[in-house]
Structure 1
Amino acid sequence: MQRLNRYSLLWLQAGPAECRVETQAQPVAEHSLLFFTPYQPFQLLAAGPVRGVALRFAPEFFCIELHKREVGCNGVLFNNVFEFPVLPLPEEARPEFAELLQKLARELGQASLAQEELVFSYLKILLIAATRLKVAQLAALPPSTAEPHVLSRLKSLLETHFREHHQVQYYAERLHLTPKALGKIVARTYGKSVSQLIQERLIIEAKRELYLTPRCVKEIGYALGFEDSAYFSRFFKKAAGVTAEEYRQRVGNVSNLRLPLSILPD
């Protein structure tokens, strides 16, 4: 599993692979985009050769939290606890994405006037295009595969109450279901447990606080409903792979955008 201290966008251009993210695994067809946040564990496995592009950028270069109103990719492409982070890229959209990546690569290959501003603009355009495509694909789902009402309500409840309610029982009761019944619905749709959804949402918020605010770790833990700061520290390290202080120090230490032009199977 890789854990990078930057955002990653992978375009698998040739050769199917299996992608493992956190505790999930899913086959990924060629011409799919994959999106990962800093320190999110992921792995690509393939039986044969694969080819693609990896775009990686540091949060201090482009923070999806700070630009969420302009770009809208946070919670859609990145930090979506309900969806696997994959976006099938239809044939008609590929030339646009290929052109943007070529422009990024060309601009990064030579130092020129206002280079950072131009790279920033290309990246922003690429993320907006991907977000629009993802939203359009979700809207085009036929009614038979649309999200059931209970899952829509769960999303709303989780977003409103994840800080103060960490127990599955609370959400099951609000939805008039047993924890077991709710767990079956969530597992069948998302391949995760309700507890995993709650924990992932807490970690997303903890990372946001560590990166965007000067609050100490104890304060962040308390704001997220952890009265025991030591327990919060263990909870964060188990999920993120580093301590909260290490996350704060390391995320943002990469000063430039990097554009490796290959993806290799692990």
Structure 2
Amino acid sequence: MIIPDTPFNPASADFFGIYPLTRSLPELQDLSVRFTLFHIVWFTGESSSQYVIDFERYPIAADSLYCLGPWQVHRVSGEPAEGIRIIFSGDIYGDVVNDDVRWLFNPLVNDGVRLKADIVEPLRMLLRLMVRESSGAGETDMLKAYLKAFLLHLIRSGSGERISFGVDAARLMILFSLVDTHYRKERKVSFYASRIGLSPKRLNEILKMATGLTLTALLHYRLIIEARRQISYGKRNFKEIAFDLGFSEQAYFSRFFKKKTGQTPEAFRQQMFKLSKQSG
């Protein structure tokens, strides 16, 4: 599919764009831009490279697709891979998703979707419609309609399984939002359970069924992801990172980080520095 060389200017609240993976978008290095956008990455060919999402590696296969939210760090490791990326703002996301679709963008589940053969052509058709609209009139309501249909097809038929927990899905989305807001300071299960209107035990049961994690494990996961991000950017020292993440002492933070990752913060920063030099 030929994708027109349209500008990448995500300043507007209703930004929407489609770009080949081979096109460089240096503007995404600006974190104030990168961390406001949602991404759908569709790999169209096989590759020996890997897709790195939040510092974990995932395979790249033909017609595999990944949905990513703001604050997630992701890149292709190795040779450039064939595919496209759909990028859109949080405002558009809020207008097109429902509880089922939100699971596609769950930052705890990054295994992606292997598209079944019977769904590939309908998704390609919707993609062609989005490309034509975004490079032509660019009518926001039309783009939203196509994107919503794309995501509904994906959640219905992409993996062969429809993930839905009824009212529990809405509760978990509230939980993820609460964790994202308060994880630096609030580590008690009771804090989150009381705001959702559940007992700590019931909240843990629902979360374990959906993600395989307890709430404590989820909070630790969120802390480690943010710690890795801040360490890899290299702009703060370890003491500043520790205090920002709610640790009273740098030594406590360092022990926590090594226990969860198997590396000291220093070793992880050195590793990220070497990888950045290799990719540069």
- State the TM-score, normalizing by the size of structure 2: 0.49
| Separation (CA, whole Å) in 1 of partners of 2:273 and 2:224 | 18
Deviations 1:39-92 (A, max 9, x none): xxxxxxxxxxxxxxxx6259xx9xxxxxx97799xx9989912x2523222336
1:203 is matched with 224
2:189 is matched with 168
On the 8 A contact 1:211/1:251 being kept in 2, the answer is yes
Give, as a single letter, the amino acid of the residue that structure 1 aligns with 2:250: S
Alignment pair present for 1:214 and 2:240: no
Residue of structure 1 aligned with 2:60, choices 11, 15, 24: 11
Alignment pair present for 1:224 and 2:241: no
2:20 is matched with none
Alignment pair present for 1:85 and 2:81: no
Tell me: CA distance 1:207–1:69, structure 2 relative to 1, closer, same or farther (3 Å): farther
User: 1:165 Cα deviation (Å)?
Assistant: 0.8
User: 1:164 Cα deviation (Å)?
Assistant: 1.0
| Separation (CA, whole Å) in 2 of partners of 1:79 and 1:235 | 25
Deviations 1:11-57 (A, max 9, x none): 367xxxxxxxxxxxxxxxxx76689xxxxxxxxxxxxxxxxxxx625
Pairwise CA RMSD: 4.2
On the 8 A contact 2:184/2:245 being kept in 1, the answer is yes
Alignment pair present for 1:137 and 2:186: no
- State the TM-score, normalizing by the size of structure 1: 0.52
| Separation (CA, whole Å) in 1 of partners of 2:234 and 2:194 | 34
Residue of structure 2 aligned with 1:156, choices 171, 174, 177: 177
Give, as a single letter, the amino acid of the residue that structure 1 aligns with 2:204: G
Tell me: CA distance 1:77–1:71, structure 2 relative to 1, closer, same or farther (3 Å): farther
On the 8 A contact 1:12/1:32 being kept in 2, the answer is yes
Tell me: CA distance 1:238–1:148, structure 2 relative to 1, closer, same or farther (3 Å): same
On the 8 A contact 2:175/2:196 being kept in 1, the answer is yes
On the 8 A contact 2:234/2:269 being kept in 1, the answer is no
Q: Which has the higher helix share?
A: 2
Give, as a single letter, the amino acid of the residue that structure 2 aligns with 1:190: T
Deviations 1:174-222 (A, max 9, x none): 1222211111111111111111111111111111111224211111111
Tell me: CA distance 1:144–1:201, structure 2 relative to 1, closer, same or farther (3 Å): closer
| Separation (CA, whole Å) in 2 of partners of 1:11 and 1:169 | 40
On the 8 A contact 1:79/1:204 being kept in 2, the answer is no
| Separation (CA, whole Å) in 2 of partners of 1:135 and 1:229 | 45
| Separation (CA, whole Å) in 2 of partners of 1:34 and 1:197 | 21
2:203 is matched with 182
| Separation (CA, whole Å) in 1 of partners of 2:246 and 2:198 | 24
User: 1:163 Cα deviation (Å)?
Assistant: 1.0
Q: What runs of 5+ residues in structure 2 fail to find an aligned partner?
A: 1-51, 68-75, 81-85, 91-101, 124-148
Percent identity between the aligned chains? 32
| Separation (CA, whole Å) in 1 of partners of 2:238 and 2:269 | 10
2:214 is matched with 193
Q: Which has the higher contact order (CA 8 A, sep 6+)?
A: 1
User: 1:242 Cα deviation (Å)?
Assistant: 0.8
| Separation (CA, whole Å) in 1 of partners of 2:61 and 2:183 | 34
Alignment pair present for 1:238 and 2:255: no
| Separation (CA, whole Å) in 1 of partners of 2:56 and 2:210 | 26
| Separation (CA, whole Å) in 2 of partners of 1:135 and 1:209 | 34
Tell me: CA distance 1:89–1:196, structure 2 relative to 1, closer, same or farther (3 Å): same
Q: Please identify, of 198-207 and 135-144, the stretch whose mean Cα deviation from structure 2 is larger.
A: 135-144
| Separation (CA, whole Å) in 2 of partners of 1:225 and 1:249 | 24
1:250 is matched with 271
